[in-house]
Amino acid sequence: MTAGPHISPATPPSRNGVPARAPAGPPLRERKKRRTRQALIDTALELFTQRGFGGVTLDELCDEVEVSKRTFFRYFTSKEDVAMAPLQDLWTAFLEELQTSRPDGRPLLDPAKEALLAALERVADDAWAHRTLLSLRLAAQTPSMNAHGLHFCERTTHAALEVLHSRFDLKSRHDPRPRLVADMLVAAFRYALTGWAAQADVYEPAAARTPAKQVLATRFRKAVAALPGSLTLAPAPRKTDS
């Protein structure tokens, strides 16, 4: 069999005999900034896990990554901020996805759910899942991380409401329903995340049949589907022995 001409997989398709330009990636400076930020996150989670959140100073973290504290504060506001970065990145992506969501006459919870699932698809990979598990385990032992997470959640909720009010006709800002939709979405995700993390005592991506983000996405979908029933749940009194 005669071999055909070799074409590099990286060669972009041609048009009218003229090779097309490959899509431009992020500028070098932006790539370096991303690498520095990710190095801070990974190193922080590793050190905090090994020595405890309080056992690592900000100076030690910066020395390990070989950056100045000034550089650290370009990316994060505190040790809590860098330790919570994996989940915060997901919610930042959610706000971006919400900017392009379309209700199409459906209940507001539907496009909000789709925006969070799209963010999960964008952000979550095996490395993200591992970082998130480390972050959650640290938060369970660190009250200041929980407090930071609550503040971030409140800021994100307000930002989401601003997006919704700017894009959709939600009538009055005094209407409680959009805020309750946002709160229910967060509650459903927290429920899904807690169950997902509890199932992953040791995360082994190579042995997993289903990608971790798909497991989390499935749990989240089920939690959202259970919301209407939770609002109408009317249990009967428990019977007692007479």
Give the CATH class of 28-77.
mainly alpha
Q: What radius of gyration, in Å, describes the C-alpha atoms of the chain?
A: 23
Q: Taking residues 187-195, report their average pLDDT.
A: 96
Q: Which of 223, 62, 46, 79 has its CA nearest to residue 147? A: 79
What residues contact 72, with CB distance under 8 A and at least 6 apart?
A: 40, 58, 61, 62, 82
Q: 14 has which bridge partners?
A: 19
* Domain residue extents for the chain: 28-77, 84-229
Of the candidate ranges 16-20, 134-138, 139-143, 221-225, the one whose mean pLDDT is the lowest: 16-20
Residue 102's pLDDT is: 85
d(CA 134, CA 48): 9
Residue 204's pLDDT is: 52
Give the CATH class of 84-229.
mainly alpha
The confidence band for 15, taking pLDDT boundaries of 50, 70 and 90, is very low
pLDDT surpasses 60 at 17 = no
Q: Which two three-digit tokens encode residue 107?
A: 């209940």
Please indicate whether the domains covering 28-77 and 84-229 agree at the CATH topology level.
no
List pLDDT tens digits, range 78-118.
999 999 999 999 999 999 999 998 888 899 999 999 999 99
Query: Higher-confidence residue: 177 or 211?
Result: 177
DSSP 202: S
Query: Higher-confidence residue: 145 or 26?
Result: 145
List pLDDT tens digits, range 45-80.
999 999 999 999 999 999 999 999 999 999 999 999
